[in-house]
Structure 1
Amino acid sequence: MKTFNLKGAPSLPFYCRYRGQLSIALVLTALGGCGFSGLKPQSRLVDPTGVEQTMADSTVPLSPAAWPTTDWWRGFKDAQLDSLVNEALADSPSLRAAAARVHQAGAFEAIEAATLLPTADAKMSTEREHFSANGTTPAPVKGTWQNIDQATFNVGYELDFWGKNRSAVEAAVGRRHALEVDEHAAALMLSASIVQAYIALHNTYQQLDVAQALLNQQQQIEKLTQQRFAAELGTQIDIKQSQASLPASRAAIAALKESIELDQNKLAALLGKGPDRGRSIARPRLQASDTLTLPTHIAAELIGHRPDVVAQRWRVEASGHEIDVAKARFYPNVNLTSFIGMQSLAFDTFNDRSSRIVGFSPAISLPIFEGGRLRGNLDAQDAAYDMAVENYNQTVVDALRDIADQLASLRWLKERLSEQNEAVATAQAASDLVNKRYGAGLATYLQVLATQNATLAEQRRLVDLQSRGLSLQANLSRALGGGYRPEIATPTNVSPTLADK
């Protein structure tokens, strides 16, 4: 049987020397497990359901392979947009900040992982000390000044019987995974913001085309009015009315050009660049997708394709391990420490064999009375777990609503576009007819003005609807996760240790 001789103590079997302490530790361990009885989380994870009927009603074709790709914005077939998104993903300060948070979480994980390993250090000291003549120090040292020289190599290790340190490491891993997924979520939001800002710029350019076409038409009508007046078919009032509309149209064009510059500034800021970068952004050449498809099993696979959902799931996992850490604090801590070195009152004997010192010290500590601190800590961790679960549940609900919103809008957009195209055609035909009658002297300028305004309003609505179609296409890709594929396994269930929570 192995024995230990500690600092000259008589050699005894280990269990004999610590039998009493071990018995007490076992009893206290059993009592420690009763300290957190009655405390457990209250929340439960929801299953993502409730989009099947919405998908069926959307009239969008279904396909198992219809999840967006990681470069989903290329579906708009605009090389400049592709370049802008890639530039933003490479240079954005917000993404660099997200990467720094992941780096920091990795460092915290390494700190926690260090608790699973032994610690070792070396110490060396020299001390000048006067020993009491009336203390426990024997002669001839008592009452004298002495130099105490000491050098030791120390090793320590905490026996993680209750999994406290392992759970802390798992919690740190979960938090790091959550931040890694947050980085993907930030990239998705950035790319989606750039696409939406680019669509807004595209819309402004199209509105400018409509306003410019109206101005050109008004200028032609003004010339025609001058000709009518020369032919004694009109009056000065008609001329003034035709001229009055021109400044308002030019002002509208100036406002749209202002909006173009503001959109360019917004895009430059999203790129992490100054406004001069925005001035180099040319007119967009976006193309709407001819066909849209949906994944077949959105509800079942959503938790693996939406980075915000995946990140919240990892936070639930990390919170579950934090509960394990809080529970383990009710049990004894078992630490082993040892040292070996040299100690001498005289430096000339420091290297003598007789100056050796060796020590081995197992230590067991258990909280007996701490005023409810441990129960309060566990209760707080249970509440943190409940919050993480409910945040996850809300994220799932919001994700499902987000998808349903895009599908509902897409379902009605086709009908709205059909009706709006008809409205534009009708208004344009009415305007052309009135213009011809005006040229022939059979209509008044007020009729011309009324049909112009009606046509302008319908054309603007059509442009807005066409831009909305592009926006919905982008939003659907974002709502479906923007091509996210987890590089690490997504936790599909709570930690096994959470089964009893």
Structure 2
Amino acid sequence: MNKTLNKSLVAAAIAALLAGCSLAPVYERPAAPVTTAWPQGDAYQPAARPTEAREAADIGWREFIGNDRLRKLVELSIGNNRDLRVSILNIERARGLYRVTSAAQLPQVNASVGQTAQRVPDNMSPTGDGYITRQYSANLGVAAYELDLFGRVRNLSEAGLQQYLGTQEARRAQQITLVAEVANAWLTLAADQERLRLAQDTLKSQQISYELSRRRFAAGATSGLDMYEAQQSVESARNDMAVYTAQVAADQNALALLAGAPVPAELLPVGELTSATQLADLPAGVPSTVLQRRPDVLSAERSLQAANANIGVARAAFFPSISLTASAGSASTALSGLFKAGSGAWSFVPQLTLPIFSGGANQANLAVAKADRDIAVAQYEKAIQSAFREVADALAQRGTLDERVASQAALAEASARSYRIYEARYQKGADAYQTSLTSQRNLYAAQQGLISARLAKATNQVTLYKALGGGWQ
């Protein structure tokens, strides 16, 4: 028995060595459907890149974010955000599915111990007396192990592996998005807090002007027009205060959702936007090949590789499959004789299945697998194109934001000087209140525009960092 069983195991081992054949197409990464350089033009900065410049994917978010409050808030969000938690659980699920498919490449060995009891009735017994027969068995065996001659099982395992690796990349992409969303929400809150303070200061100034106009009107020095126009400005400032008070509360709620927990007051921005943002600068002149390091692009490529492996699975269905079922053990009619000499038993059942007619199902499955591969190619190319556009848009904004901030700051400074002159002239009675009021409104609009420009510059840094694949480490 042992010699026969050893020969069977040797034959199975030789067949397993032949299992290296695969009918899947050789994978080749599709050419990137974008140019190797970023767009050029008036909206873009010169694409000079220092040799020591680092790519965004190599700059961890802790290094990119210099503000300690924002850094701690991002840490809180990574630990509690529910979307990111779902991505992590998807990794665990994909890992389990991969282990299931890869386990099929190895024989499943099972041990069994059993008893079969049967009573023969009196009318069927040769002696006329009924009796009971018993049979005991103990076996170690392999059930329906497929010899993977054409790589069907191996390609199933490869597809599972690529899907698992794709979920890991999807988790990294989710973290990149989360880091950018938290940073932008935090910066928006800082800007809205500054807008609220500006509205409060404007309201105080308008109330002083209104009181002055009211006293002058009461004394008969001016008409009621100045007083009513001053009152309009007061009510407008009160309205802005209400709007920005509600907006600040909404910004805090948005941060709490991203963080997955209430945000402690010590992690909220304090001071002006310029002092709240301490983001590291990024090199602009990086080649577009850096996009292939983005986790979402890598995830799309993993899906493409899985679809490529599934073609091998579909092709293998056209070829014969061999499965082995074998067992060896001991059998006896008495429990005491189960492992005695002469009780050995074995079975070996090889089975060859040859597809002859399937009504075109195998051909249809192959066509579906090829179509899935072509879809995955298009999705991979679309992921690269979308990533290229995100970076190009961010670079276009970056190339003009410095000029925008500088011009807005100069406008705010000129408006402030103009307002001080007109206000002094009005206080001395040398000019009409309408002129001073118009100047004050221009100053308020210029200051609001400066806050918006500074916010746009800060969020552009975050957007460019995200678009270049930074934030997952």
State TM-score, norm by structure 2. 0.84
Equivalent-residue separation in structure 1 for 2:115 and 2:412 (angstroms): 95
Q: Does the CA contact (< 8 Å) of 1:150 and 1:342 recur in 2?
A: yes
1:324 equivalenced with 2:281 (yes/no): no
Question: Using a 3 Å threshold, how does the CA distance of structure 1 residues 318 and 146 change in structure 2: closer, same or farther?
Answer: same
Q: Which of 79, 99, 107 pairs up with 1:90?
A: 79
Q: How much does 1:423 deviate?
A: 2.9
Matches within 5 A, 1:304-323: 304=293, 306-323=294-311
Tell me the equivalent position of 1:29. none
Q: Does the CA contact (< 8 Å) of 1:155 and 1:339 recur in 2?
A: yes
Equivalent-residue separation in structure 2 for 1:389 and 1:278 (angstroms): 47
Q: Which of 31, 35, 40 pairs up with 1:50?
A: 35
Q: Does the CA contact (< 8 Å) of 1:413 and 1:465 recur in 2?
A: yes
Equivalent-residue separation in structure 1 for 2:385 and 2:136 (angstroms): 68
Q: Does the CA contact (< 8 Å) of 2:187 and 2:277 recur in 1?
A: no
- AA aligned opposite 2:163: R
1:250 equivalenced with 2:238 (yes/no): yes
Equivalent-residue separation in structure 1 for 2:73 and 2:323 (angstroms): 57
Q: Does the CA contact (< 8 Å) of 1:67 and 1:483 recur in 2?
A: no
Q: Residues 422-462 of structure 1, C-alpha deviation per residue, up to 9 Å, x if partnerless?
A: 33334333322321221122332333322222222222122
Q: Does the CA contact (< 8 Å) of 2:34 and 2:384 recur in 1?
A: no
Equivalent-residue separation in structure 2 for 1:40 and 1:119 (angstroms): 29
Matches within 5 A, 1:95-494: 95-129=84-118, 146-156=133-143, 157-226=145-214, 228-229=216-217, 232-274=220-262, 277=264, 281-283=268-270, 285-287=275-277, 292-296=282-286, 298-304=287-293, 306-345=294-333, 347=335, 350-482=338-470, 484=472
- AA aligned opposite 1:415: E
Equivalent-residue separation in structure 2 for 1:453 and 1:328 (angstroms): 76
SS of residue matched to 2:276: coil
Equivalent-residue separation in structure 2 for 1:171 and 1:63 (angstroms): 41
Q: Residues 74-128 of structure 1, C-alpha deviation per residue, up to 9 Å, x if partnerless?
A: 5453210011011112232322221221112112221122112122112223233
- AA aligned opposite 1:149: Y
State TM-score, norm by structure 1. 0.80
SS of residue matched to 2:365: helix
Equivalent-residue separation in structure 2 for 1:319 and 1:290 (angstroms): 40
- AA aligned opposite 1:286: A
Q: Residues 145-202 of structure 1, C-alpha deviation per residue, up to 9 Å, x if partnerless?
A: 6334333221354321111222122111111111111111111110100011011101
Q: How much does 1:419 deviate?
A: 3.0
Question: Using a 3 Å threshold, how does the CA distance of structure 1 residues 144 and 117 change in structure 2: closer, same or farther?
Answer: same
Equivalent-residue separation in structure 1 for 2:116 and 2:127 (angstroms): 18
Q: Does the CA contact (< 8 Å) of 1:48 and 1:400 recur in 2?
A: no
Equivalent-residue separation in structure 2 for 1:119 and 1:104 (angstroms): 22
SS of residue matched to 2:222: coil
Question: Using a 3 Å threshold, how does the CA distance of structure 1 residues 256 and 483 change in structure 2: closer, same or farther?
Answer: closer
Tell me the equivalent position of 1:492. none
Equivalent-residue separation in structure 2 for 1:442 and 1:225 (angstroms): 15
Tell me the equivalent position of 2:19. none
- AA aligned opposite 1:459: Q
SS of residue matched to 1:77: coil
Q: Residues 382-414 of structure 1, C-alpha deviation per residue, up to 9 Å, x if partnerless?
A: 111111111111000000000110111112223
SS of residue matched to 1:265: helix
Q: Does the CA contact (< 8 Å) of 1:50 and 1:299 recur in 2?
A: yes
Residue identity (%): 26
Q: Residues 31-66 of structure 1, C-alpha deviation per residue, up to 9 Å, x if partnerless?
A: xx9xx9xx999x983415326251576215423533
Q: How much does 1:310 deviate?
A: 1.0
For structure 1, the 5+ residue unaligned runs are 16-21, 23-32, 486-501
Equivalent-residue separation in structure 2 for 1:131 and 1:339 (angstroms): 29
Tell me the equivalent position of 1:59. 45
Question: Using a 3 Å threshold, how does the CA distance of structure 1 residues 51 and 426 change in structure 2: closer, same or farther?
Answer: farther
Q: How much does 1:349 deviate?
A: 5.1
Q: How much does 1:312 deviate?
A: 0.8
Question: Using a 3 Å threshold, how does the CA distance of structure 1 residues 88 and 314 change in structure 2: closer, same or farther?
Answer: same
Equivalent-residue separation in structure 2 for 1:140 and 1:113 (angstroms): 57
Q: Does the CA contact (< 8 Å) of 1:288 and 1:469 recur in 2?
A: no
Q: Does the CA contact (< 8 Å) of 1:423 and 1:458 recur in 2?
A: yes
- AA aligned opposite 1:175: Q
Q: Does the CA contact (< 8 Å) of 2:61 and 2:472 recur in 1?
A: no
Question: Using a 3 Å threshold, how does the CA distance of structure 1 residues 181 and 318 change in structure 2: closer, same or farther?
Answer: same
Structure 1 moving runs of 4+ over 6 Å: 130-133, 138-141
**CA RMSD in angstroms, aligned pairs only:** 3.6
Equivalent-residue separation in structure 2 for 1:91 and 1:44 (angstroms): 36
